[in-house]
């Protein structure tokens, strides 16, 4: 007697779900130009902001040439009409002359050499072409066109008053004060006063 063979069962292979269609179409020419235009505006605004911030920041730090120096009065000459006090990093000399204080730019007004204070001759002498200047920077002789330039300075006194160099760059008179009354000399090496040419 024949026996029935078991029926073959077949299972269908799983079919992959269809991936959703992604639109990868490239931007149109018009969209592309919009993007470029937007990026240009952002870049321009960024540059303007950076420029404004840079402009508003102080260009020179205090105590560096081009900025303001707080000069300690303890460094002033001990008496009037002797060698000036010098600050090479600020390129200035502080002269104490006839109860007045004047801050001189240490650079020769001829071609920019550095005149030295010569104690024996009691004057500044330029090593390059021989210009000479008095202790207060007044021109004496040589090819320099004028006396030494001055830096705008303000002297603060212990009684709370102060005195500032005038617009002509004249030495600052101490008036009723003495050098012992000075608490600070503020020297702006970014603000120079040029004397008129000598006759």
Residues that bind ligand FES (CB under 6 A): 108, 110-113, 126, 128-131, 142-144
Shortest Cβ distance from residue 116 to ligand FES (Å)?
11
Pick between residue 144 and residue 165 the one whose CB is nearest to ligand FES.
Answer: 144
Q: Are strands 182-193 and 150-157 parallel, antiparallel or unpaired?
A: antiparallel
Which residues are bridge partners to 95 per DSSP?
A: 102
Nearest CA-CA partner of 172 in 73, 66, 60: 73
Pick between residue 133 and residue 157 the one whose CB is nearest to ligand FES.
Answer: 133
Shortest Cβ distance from residue 144 to ligand FES (Å)?
5
Angle at 139 between CA 102 and CA 80, to 5 degrees: 35
Shortest Cβ distance from residue 113 to ligand FES (Å)?
4
Shortest Cβ distance from residue 195 to ligand FES (Å)?
15
Nearest CA-CA partner of 188 in 62, 9, 59, 10: 62
Pick between residue 69 and residue 139 the one whose CB is nearest to ligand FES.
Answer: 139
| Pairwise CA distance, residues 12 & 133, whole Å | 110
Q: CA torsion angle for 47, 63, 154, 116 (degrees, to 10)? A: -120
Shortest Cβ distance from residue 136 to ligand FES (Å)?
18
Angle at 114 between CA 199 and CA 123, to 5 degrees: 60
* Helix, strand, coil share (%) of the chain residues, nearest 5: 20, 30, 55
């Amino acid at each position: 007697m024949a026996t029935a063979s078991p029926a073959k069962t077949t299972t269908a292979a799983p079919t992959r779900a269809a991936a959703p269609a992604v639109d990868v179409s490239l931007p149109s020419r018009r969209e592309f130009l919009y993007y470029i235009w937007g990026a240009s505006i952002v870049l321009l605004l960024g540059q303007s902001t950076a420029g404004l911030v840079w402009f508003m920041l102080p260009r020179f730090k205090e105590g560096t040439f081009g900025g303001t120096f707080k000069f300690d009065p303890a460094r002033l000459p001990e008496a009037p009409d002797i060698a000036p006090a010098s600050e090479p990093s600020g390129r200035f000399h502080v002269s104490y002359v006839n109860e007045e204080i004047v801050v001189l730019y240490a650079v020769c007004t001829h071609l920019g050499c550095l005149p030295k204070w010569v104690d024996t001759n009691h004057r500044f002498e330029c090593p390059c072409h021989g210009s000479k200047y008095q202790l207060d920077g007044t021109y004496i002789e040589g090819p320099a066109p004028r006396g030494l330039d001055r830096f705008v300075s303000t002297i603060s006194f212990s009684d709370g008053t102060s005195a500032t160099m005038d617009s002509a760059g004249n030495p600052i008179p101490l008036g009723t004060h003495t050098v012992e009354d000075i608490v600070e000399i503020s020297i702006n090496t970014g603000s120079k006063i040029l004397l008129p040419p000598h006759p």
